[in-house]
Structure 1
Amino acid sequence: MQVIIFDDAQQVADSAAKWVAELINKKAKPVLGLATGSTPISLYQALVKKYQTEEISFKDTCTFNLDEYLGIDENNVQSYRHFMNTNLFDHVDIDKSKTFLPTCAQGENPRAQGLAYEQMIKEAGGIDLQILGIGANGHIGFNEPTSSLASRTRIKTLTQQTLTDNSRLFSADEFQPTLAMTMGIATILDARYVLLMATGENKAKAVKDMVTGAVSAMCPASALQMHENAIVLLDKAAASQLEDQEYYLWADQQNNKINDEFGLYHNY
């Protein structure tokens, strides 16, 4: 696990955009795994700017999102399809027919939909780079604590903490879903590279458990310790509970020397 600590959240977003841009420019048909939530918004803003300045093009890119609320219409402003359109897809040259979310409409079998999503990822050649955030309880995607580390795309019941954390996005008279479809932890670990962004002091405990705690279903993000190419981008607040920060800074300086010569990726 490569841990990189920045001064602020904007530097985290700019670094994440650099990883995404290099993949898009290096690989003929890149497959991105995308996340929603407040943290990735600044990343998507940075990517839109890179598109506008003709540094990147999304015309050959295929995307798979981590999750989507169960039974929600894609035109609903609370849907993650709407989130992705608003924050990224509507502003770049991506073919929306190649952008996928793990949807499950009313009356559809979520088990069958999960298997179908897994097959779609496989047919696309697998995910090259998966973007992640982390919940205050250590969740990635909607894989809440106690999720199986071998889990695949499926339906999940959201914890009260996640519902409370997300309630700021819903008005008082608006229905807030309690169920969602999500990629599983094993699905996430299948990605060739994983890039996790975390900012803010409220994520510091989860970050510490992820990076230095035991690999445990109680902190789903800790499974990234087992990933060969996991990159964790933090601002100082999110990294505040990590010990040995001087080593992470030193290691990043050494890695930068290699990256400058050979690029961020070793197999593209």
Structure 2
Amino acid sequence: MKVIIVEDKAAIGHTVGQMFVNAVKNNPKVIFGLATGSSPESTYQYLIEDYQTNHTDWSNVKTFNLDEYIGLEPTHPQSYRHFMNEKLFNHINIQKENTYVPSGVGDYVSLAKQYDQKIAEAGGIDLQLLGVGTNGHIGFNEPPADFDSLTGVVDLVEATFQANARFFDSINDVPKQAVSMGIKSILNARKIVLIADGEGKAEAIKHLVEGEISNLWPCTALQNHPDVTIVIDYKAASLLTKQ
């Protein structure tokens, strides 16, 4: 596991964004796993700016997102499909039919069971982007997490429920379930990069980098993966014994 500590969220976006740009240049048909939430926004902004300046070609890239809220249509302003369109896809030349987000409506249970097969048929994820929750969740795999889980329906715990309430008009509007890639799904990626900023993520990062593997901190499952890079700011790294 490689740990890169940078100044702030903007520096995280620059560092990780360049990893993705390099991956596209090295393999125009690269397959990415993508994340949502506030953590990757600076990375996506970097990719947009790179596209506008350097015209990196995304036309043959495929992407698979980690998760989606149950009950939100793709057009809902708080859906993760809408987030990805607004924060990245609408601003680069990726083909929308090559961007996959789990479905949170319709027969979402059956569709979730097909998601890992769809990833496998595409060739598998080359580079997976992850954030991490304050309780150590990756995707929506809450503690205690099943390290053998594949994509499926999950319940959101109170901490995650409360953390996401700021994005909705009312806490009553926050979905209580989501479709999420499982831990095993995530670990199937060839390379993983996890990002985190702020003191609120410091305890999770401490467990991830220096703690024991435990399903009470789902992010520690990444210790079982051969190619993981952690890119964090100084605040998120504040509890690490070695910096």
Q: TM-score range by the shorter chain?
A: over 0.9
Q: Matched residues in 1 for 2:7 and 2:50: separation?
A: 22
Q: Matched residues in 1 for 2:230 and 2:215: separation?
A: 19
What are the ranges of 5 or more consecutive residues in structure 2 without an aligned counterpart?
Answer: none
The DSSP-based 3-state class of the residue aligned with 2:153 is strand
Report the AA paired with residue 57 of structure 1.
D
Tell me the residue number matched to 1:178. 176
Tell me the residue number matched to 1:6. 6
Tell me the residue number matched to 1:197. 195
The DSSP-based 3-state class of the residue aligned with 2:28 is coil
The answer to whether structure 1 residue 218 and structure 2 residue 216 are counterparts is yes
The DSSP-based 3-state class of the residue aligned with 2:54 is coil
Tell me the residue number matched to 1:89. 89
Tell me the residue number matched to 1:58. 58
Tell me the residue number matched to 1:117. 115
- Kept in 2, the 8 Å contact 1:39–1:133? The answer is yes
Aligned residues: 243
Q: Matched residues in 2 for 1:104 and 1:137: separation?
A: 23
Choose which of 116, 125, 128 in structure 2 pairs with 1:127.
Answer: 125
Q: Matched residues in 1 for 2:234 and 2:198: separation?
A: 8
Query: In the TM superposition, what whole-angstrom CA distance separates every residue of 1:127-154 from its partner, at most 9, and x where no partner exists?
Result: 0000000000000000001111111000
Tell me the residue number matched to 2:236. 238
- Kept in 1, the 8 Å contact 2:165–2:171? The answer is no
Identical counterparts, % of pairs:
43
- Kept in 1, the 8 Å contact 2:147–2:221? The answer is yes
State the shift of 1:9 in Å: 1.6
Task: Compare CA radii of gyration and give the structure with the larger one.
Answer: 1
Tell me the residue number matched to 2:23. 23
The DSSP-based 3-state class of the residue aligned with 2:202 is helix
Report runs of 4+ in structure 1 exceeding 4 Å deviation. Answer: none
Query: In the TM superposition, what whole-angstrom CA distance separates every residue of 1:144-178 from its partner, at most 9, and x where no partner exists?
Result: 01111111000000000001011010112762100
- Kept in 2, the 8 Å contact 1:104–1:113? The answer is no
Tell me the residue number matched to 2:75. 75
The DSSP-based 3-state class of the residue aligned with 1:13 is helix
- Kept in 2, the 8 Å contact 1:61–1:94? The answer is yes
- Kept in 1, the 8 Å contact 2:50–2:56? The answer is yes
Alignment of 1:126-165 (within 5 A): 126-165=124-163
What are the ranges of 5 or more consecutive residues in structure 1 without an aligned counterpart?
Answer: 246-268
The DSSP-based 3-state class of the residue aligned with 1:147 is coil
Q: Matched residues in 2 for 1:86 and 1:211: separation?
A: 33
Q: Matched residues in 2 for 1:13 and 1:174: separation?
A: 32
- Kept in 2, the 8 Å contact 1:71–1:103? The answer is no
The DSSP-based 3-state class of the residue aligned with 1:39 is coil
Compared CA separation, residues 50 and 109, structure 1 to 2 (3 A): closer
State the shift of 1:54 in Å: 2.2
Tell me the residue number matched to 1:101. 101
Q: Given the two structures, how large is their TM-score scaled by the length of structure 2?
A: 0.97
- Kept in 1, the 8 Å contact 2:61–2:94? The answer is yes
